[in-house]
Amino acid sequence: MESGALTPPARQEPRGDLDGCTARLRELLGREAVITDRQRVRTYECDGLASHRSVPAVVVLPENAEQVRAVVATCSAHGVPFVARGSGTGLSAGALPRSDGVLVVTSRMRRILELDVANERAVVEPGVVNLDVTRAAQPYGYYFAPDPSSQQVCSVGGNVAENSGGAHCLKHGFTVNHVLAASVVTPDGEEVELGGPAREAPGYDLLGAFVGSEGTLGVVTSITVRLLRAPESVRTLLAGFPTTDDAGAAVSAIIAAGITPAAVEMMDALSISAAEQAVRCDYPEGAGAVLIVELDGPHAEVEHTFTEVSEHCTAHGAFEIRTAADERERALIWKGRKSAFAAVGRISRDYIVQDGVIPRTALPDVLRRIAELSASSGVRVANVFHAGDGNLHPLVLFDGSDPGETERAEEVSGAILDLCVEHGGSITGEHGVGADKVRYMGRMFTPEDLDTMQSLRCAFDPEGLCNPGKVFPTPRLCGETPGRRRGVHPLTEAGLAEQF
Amino acid sequence: MESGALTPPARQEPRGDLDGCTARLRELLGREAVITDRQRVRTYECDGLASHRSVPAVVVLPENAEQVRAVVATCSAHGVPFVARGSGTGLSAGALPRSDGVLVVTSRMRRILELDVANERAVVEPGVVNLDVTRAAQPYGYYFAPDPSSQQVCSVGGNVAENSGGAHCLKHGFTVNHVLAASVVTPDGEEVELGGPAREAPGYDLLGAFVGSEGTLGVVTSITVRLLRAPESVRTLLAGFPTTDDAGAAVSAIIAAGITPAAVEMMDALSISAAEQAVRCDYPEGAGAVLIVELDGPHAEVEHTFTEVSEHCTAHGAFEIRTAADERERALIWKGRKSAFAAVGRISRDYIVQDGVIPRTALPDVLRRIAELSASSGVRVANVFHAGDGNLHPLVLFDGSDPGETERAEEVSGAILDLCVEHGGSITGEHGVGADKVRYMGRMFTPEDLDTMQSLRCAFDPEGLCNPGKVFPTPRLCGETPGRRRGVHPLTEAGLAEQF
């Protein structure tokens, strides 16, 4: 497990009537589904980002939508904050519990409610594991496209909260592109439907705003997802380049030729070396960078495009190109990439997985600047990324037992985000803001922009009980009158100065 | 021009200080850009849906974003309602002016501010004509994908407001899939940025909610659109079928085979006959239905898929299949389809262009029920539609000079929407709700769902000055406290009962 920013646990003043709330939850869900035992609740103190920890006061395990509704309504009535959690694999502390609140764990809600192959969709409960949707659809020749690395464990509800991507989102898009509708319990305990089975619906697209809202606008209780037809053909290529610049130029050439591969992944020398030590993936020797390019689609298209991709790689300096002859060889190519994060743990005691986005054309410049940052600070950085859409995952290596190293690593990590923003990119590609990146939001957005987003949060959650402290600095008060203007938000000027 | 529901013009009590507002607008924009002359303002009394009319008190013609901001801030300060209008080609009275308000016409904002081919995007002002984006990008091998029938005239700002589609949105998606960012003046006169150049951004996706909000959340002043690479190859096929059932079965087979054509359009016998009379498109004789299928993509893929599509058509009863050998023949095939709406005007004095969505699998059933409705009422219905995504455009024919015919036509038109809702579809596919379909919103959404959407409107526009009366029944008051619950909306119970 990586460690990162060692933020002190937030001290939280109890806000509502927690005892009354807990008693009522026991009446509603039964004693067994409401956990307050200190040992047991402690297991939920963090999600995948272990540097942020906070032990929840109460953990509830609802079994269906009606129980979720009852839990949220009860929290709302008692003024108690609540946080929803799926499988807890998030990497931004988006499911960090409140020590004065209720953690709503959806792991008992794992039913696939409907599989409608004719209309290419499925309805699932939020706790359903991502890969289980594909497993259910596979016999009919379909699959669920979003494929975060954690897809064997992570929940669809969590994917909705984080708008999860994955290696294949270059071609197929993020979770938001694969969700047609959702039943949602709003922070005041009302159940509403967002979106609908029709591709186009009148009114505001609140579904689009809900997906990726990181649990701050309510709790999802059922999700209608799109199923994609499994492609007729898949081809995977591994190419070794002398430098990341060469590999980056090849990526630009492929995209400029109008080709949209299913995935384009890049690894630099340091991450290749870590992967080799960990899983012996046998990547081209002496490579300064490797590219993994995967194409999917109709057989004729894939074969044709595959030749083109190989040519672009060769033209930009690839000294070795391999293609997977079968599923086994394909798995071997992916093994190095998929093990990269864990592998880095073998060459460094601690590391931060950074997540930023830049325009594809800025890749060479940003990689050079990251190398300079690394050289000048003495902090090693391994680069693994979704090269096709400019989503970087620099791994910042450090030894937390060495005085001052943690701070230096955090400084480099933050400076990488500054580089992303400076190049017109984003402070997160797919991991979210959560509690972890709240402090960077002001680098990317103006107070007016944040203010406008906050107005939506205030409209849904005027009391600030729904996953408070995530994404935005918590508004102390949503104001006495509605609207963006009249004192609704503390985020402007003084508020910002105080928070960042 | 089609005519339709003859709704009496809304009587509007003047709401704010219109005279003071007008005087200030003249100071800010100059006298020439502020029109109050009765003759001149009358030309703006309706958009493409001429059955709804209302003469604006004032028309302003801003030249840049700063002027738009100043106009909106002035309206807000004087409590005067305002409506934005692009080219006025909308078909749901979404740009219907207020007789007590200001109409903000963007026709002077026609600059393409940036063309960034390397990053596949352009930045345009809202008044830029849809097709002009493609014209600017064409020399570089790119185009702007949304292609409503009105694309030679309609504005990109209008496309954003309505989330416009077009014949090719089956494969390429709606406007929302082609907008990366927007500068927006919120109803209180503040300029904010929604979205951004990176594909993934933190915070709420308010851009997605703004696109398609029909001018009710603010006025867009610049739009960053995606440019798509022009396909290597395009192939167009015209197939004649005995019945719409046969053609519908062919569409289902094509989609079930995993093929996503760029466009799949269907016309029934009555619309074919109208098109023949109008433009002599020479469609297969005796056809009960024709399909137009267009494929685009890499050459190898298109050729391969084209053979498959032809086979599916033949297998489902196509008695004649033609393929366009060149651009001239392609244009001829499309000519019949594109002229269909106007052509119907030759066989009927008046008609309503309806716009609804159904799941593709419901097509045969819904078409049968429309035929039954037509038979039992004696009202003729011609069907033209985007068959691939279930977006129907039934043309309901009537003679408004014949007593009672208008009412019967409206009844049939409304019953078709009920059919759509009953089959899990939508009351609008691409024309929007505007003023025209406000009365149908309650058939599709629960009070809680509408309430949730209204909370977003209240957050942006608590005074109800921004395009009031569109999409939702206007909230009389956004409430004294923020949030969804406490008396914010008049839409629940009593409110709904009153409105619908």
At A202 the pLDDT is: 87
Segment 321-360 of chain B within 8 Å of chain A by CB:
357-360
Residue in chain A lying closest to B163 (CA): A200
Q: Identify the residue whose tokens are 């039992």.
A: B376
Tell whether A470 lies on the interface with B, counting CB pairs under 8 A: no
Tell whether A202 lies on the interface with B, counting CB pairs under 8 A: yes
CA-to-CA separations, B387 to A39, B390, B423, in angstroms, rounded: 58, 5, 15
Q: For residue A475, what pLDDT band results from cuts at 50, 70 and 90?
A: low
- Output A198-201 pairs: Cβ under 8 A, ≥24 positions apart: A198/B357, A198/B358, A198/B359, A198/B390, A198/B424, A198/B425, A198/B426, A198/B429, A199/B357, A199/B389, A199/B390, A200/B163, A200/B165, A200/B174, A200/B357, A200/B391, A200/B426, A200/B428, A200/B429, A200/B430, A201/B426, A201/B444
Tell whether B198 lies on the interface with A, counting CB pairs under 8 A: yes
Q: Which residues contact B299 (CB under 8 A, 6 or more apart)?
A: A304, B232, B233
At A492 the pLDDT is: 33
For the residues A94-114, what does the mean pLDDT come to? 97
Whether residues A300 and B297 touch (CB distance < 8 A) is answered with: no
CATH topology of domain A233-422: Vanillyl-alcohol Oxidase; Chain A, domain 3 (3.40.462)
Residue in chain A lying closest to B425 (CA): A198
pLDDT in tens, B137-156: 999 999 999 999 899 999 99
For the residues B436-450, what does the mean pLDDT come to? 91
For the residues B247-258, what does the mean pLDDT come to? 89
Tell whether B477 lies on the interface with A, counting CB pairs under 8 A: no
Q: For residue B202, what pLDDT band results from cuts at 50, 70 and 90?
A: confident
Top-level class of domain B112-229: alpha beta
Across the interface, which of B258, B297, B453 has its CB nearest the CB of A229? Answer: B258
Tell whether B201 lies on the interface with A, counting CB pairs under 8 A: yes
For the residues B462-466, what does the mean pLDDT come to? 93
Residue in chain B lying closest to A188 (CA): B485
Q: Which residues contact A418 (CB under 8 A, 6 or more apart)?
A: A443
CATH topology of domain A18-105: 3.30.43
**At A267, which amino acid appears?**
M
At A13 the pLDDT is: 60
Whether residues A459 and B459 touch (CB distance < 8 A) is answered with: yes
Across the interface, which of A303, A304, A471 has its CB nearest the CB of B203? Answer: A471
For chain A, the straight-line distance linking the first and the last C-alpha, in angstroms and rounded, comes to 28
Residue in chain B lying closest to A213 (CA): B204
Residue in chain B lying closest to A208 (CA): B208
Across the interface, which of B304, B453, B485 has its CB nearest the CB of A298? Answer: B304
pLDDT in tens, A181-201: 999 999 999 999 999 877 677
What is the rounded distance in angstroms from the CA atom of residue A279 to the CA atom of residue A340?
9
Across the interface, which of A198, A204, A449 has its CB nearest the CB of B193? Answer: A449
**Torsion sign across C-alpha atoms A76, A80, A84, A90:** positive
Across the interface, which of A194, A424, A430 has its CB nearest the CB of B197? Answer: A424
Whether residues B484 and A258 touch (CB distance < 8 A) is answered with: no
For chain A, the average pLDDT equals: 89
Q: For residue B301, what pLDDT band results from cuts at 50, 70 and 90?
A: confident
Q: Cβ–Cβ contacts within 10 Å for residue A285, how many?
A: 10
Q: For residue A234, what pLDDT band results from cuts at 50, 70 and 90?
A: very high
Tell whether A439 lies on the interface with B, counting CB pairs under 8 A: no
Q: Which of A204, A210, A443 to mutate to test the interface with B (most CBs of B within 10 A)?
A: A204
What is the rounded distance in angstroms from the CA atom of residue A106 to the CA atom of residue A469?
21
Q: Which of B178, B190, B199 to mutate to test the interface with A (most CBs of A within 10 A)?
A: B199
For the residues B416-427, what does the mean pLDDT come to? 93
Lowest mean pLDDT among A92-96, A445-449, B305-309, B315-319: A445-449
3-state helix/strand/coil string of chain A = CCCCCCCCCCCCCCCCCHHHHHHHHHHHHCHHHEECCHHHHHCCCCCCCCCCCCCCCEEECCCCHHHHHHHHHHHHHHCCCEEEECCCCCCCCCCCCCCCCEEEECCCCCCEEEEECCCCEEEECCCCEHHHHHHHHHHHCEECCCCCCCCCCCEHHHHHHHCCCCCCHHHHCCHHHHEEEEEEECCCCCEEEEECCCCCCCCCCHHHHHCCCCCCCCEEEEEEEECEECCCEEEEEEEEECCHHHHHHHHHHHHHCCCCCCEEEEEEHHHHHHHHHHHCCCCCCCCCEEEEEEEEECHHHHHHHHHHHHHHHHHCCCCEEEECCCHHHHHHHHHHHHCHHHHHHHHCCEEEECCEECCHHHHHHHHHHHHHHHHHHCCCEEEEEEHHHCEEEEEEEECCCCCCHHHHHHHHHHHHHHHHHHCCCECCCCCCCCCCCHHHHHHHCCHHHHHHHHHHHHHHCCCCCECCCCCCCCCCCCCCCCCCCCCCCCCCCHHHHHHC
Whether residues B456 and A424 touch (CB distance < 8 A) is answered with: no
Q: Which residues contact A29 (CB under 8 A, 6 or more apart)?
A: A60, A61, A62, A67, A70, A71
CATH number for the region B231-347 comes to 3.30.70.2190
At B37 the pLDDT is: 97
- In the predicted structure, residue B435 carries a pLDDT above the cut 70: yes
- In the predicted structure, residue B491 carries a pLDDT above the cut 50: no
At B258 the pLDDT is: 81
Strand-pairing partners, residue B137, are none
Most confident of A2-11, A93-102, A202-211, B298-307: A93-102
At B325 the pLDDT is: 92
Architecture of domain B348-444: 2-Layer Sandwich (3.30)
pLDDT in tens, A355-378: 999 988 888 899 999 999 999 999
Whether residues B480 and A478 touch (CB distance < 8 A) is answered with: no
Q: For residue B338, what pLDDT band results from cuts at 50, 70 and 90?
A: confident
Q: For residue B199, what pLDDT band results from cuts at 50, 70 and 90?
A: low
At B87 the pLDDT is: 96
Lowest mean pLDDT among A197-211, B157-171, B465-479: B465-479
Across the interface, which of A186, A231, A426 has its CB nearest the CB of B484? Answer: A186
Tell me if ipTM is over 0.85: no
Give A176's contacts in chain B (Cβ within 8 Å).
205, 208
A12 burial level (CB within 10 Å; 0-12, 13-18, 19+)? middle
Query: Percentage of chain A surpassing pLDDT 70?
Result: 92
* C-alpha distance from B144 to closest chain A C-alpha (Å): 15
Closest CA to A441 of A500, A494, A357, A356: A500
**Hey, where are the domains in chain B?**
18-105, 112-229, 231-347, 348-444, 447-460+475-499
At A481 the pLDDT is: 40
Do domains B18-105 and B348-444 share one topology? The answer is no
Sheet of strand A102-105, all strands in order from the earlier edge strand to the far edge: A34-35, A58-60, A102-105, A82-85
Across the interface, which of A188, A196, A199 has its CB nearest the CB of B484? Answer: A188
- In the predicted structure, residue B350 carries a pLDDT above the cut 60: yes
Cβ pair B41, B100 in contact under 8 A: no
Q: For residue A345, what pLDDT band results from cuts at 50, 70 and 90?
A: confident
pLDDT in tens, A390-413: 899 999 999 999 989 999 999 999
Whether residues B191 and A479 touch (CB distance < 8 A) is answered with: no
Whether residues A481 and B480 touch (CB distance < 8 A) is answered with: yes
Q: For residue B341, what pLDDT band results from cuts at 50, 70 and 90?
A: confident
Across the interface, which of B190, B199, B459 has its CB nearest the CB of A482? Answer: B459
